[in-house]
C-alpha cells in the first residue's frame, strides 16, 4: 500500500547478452583476472564485474556485441574460455 517498489531489497542487474534486467542472484558475475574473464558465481571477487545469464545464448550474444570489454572497461578481445566452460558445466 505504500507504493514503494522492492528494488532495493532485490537488486537487479542487466544481462550484457540479452539486455534484460534480472535479479542479481539469477545472473552470473564475470570479472577480469589477469586479462581473462572468469566466472564469479559467489559475487565476491574484487574489481569491476559484468553480469550475464548463465546461458550459452546470452554469452554468445554478449561476445557478438563485444559487451564484455565495454562493461569491464578494457580493450578487447577477451578470453572467455573459463566462463564458457563454467556455463556449459552448470547447464542441465
Ligand atoms: Zn541474458
CB atoms within 10 A of CB 67: 22
Calculate how far, in angstroms, residue 2's C-alpha sits from the geometric centre of ligand 1.
Answer: 31
Expressed as residue numbers, the domain containing 80 is 12-90
User: Is residue 3 in a domain?
Assistant: no
Q: pLDDT for 38-81, tens place per residue?
A: 999 999 999 999 999 999 999 999 999 999 999 999 987 899 99
pTM: 0.85
Q: Among residues 31, 28, 17, 35, which one has the least CA distance to residue 78? A: 35
> Total structural domains in the chain?
1
Q: Using alpha carbons only, give the angle 74, 44, 26 rounded to the nearest 5 degrees.
A: 90
Q: At 60, which CATH number?
A: 3.30.1230.10
Q: Measured between alpha carbons, how far is 45 from 64 in angstroms, rounded to an integer?
A: 25
Span 73-89, pLDDT tens digits: 998 789 999 999 999 99
Cell matching residue 92: 542441465
Ligand 1 mean position to 60 CA, how many Å?
Answer: 10
User: Is residue 45 included in any domain, yes or no?
Assistant: yes
Q: How far is the CA of 49 from the centre of ligand 1 (A)?
A: 15
Amino acid at each position: 500500500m505504500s507504493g514503494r517498489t522492492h528494488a532495493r531489497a532485490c537488486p537487479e542487474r542487466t544481462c550484457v547478452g540479452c539486455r534484460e534486467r534480472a535479479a542479481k542472484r539469477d545472473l552470473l558475475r564475470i570479472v577480469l583476472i589477469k586479462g581473462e574473464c572468469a566466472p564469479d558465481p559467489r559475487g565476491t571477487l574484487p574489481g569491476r564485474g559484468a553480469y550475464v545469464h548463465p546461458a550459452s545464448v546470452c554469452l554468445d550474444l554478449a561476445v557478438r556485441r563485444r559487451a564484455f570489454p565495454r562493461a569491464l572497461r578494457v580493450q578487447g578481445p577477451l578470453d572467455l574460455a573459463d566462463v564458457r566452460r563454467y556455463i556449459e558445466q552448470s547447464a542441465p
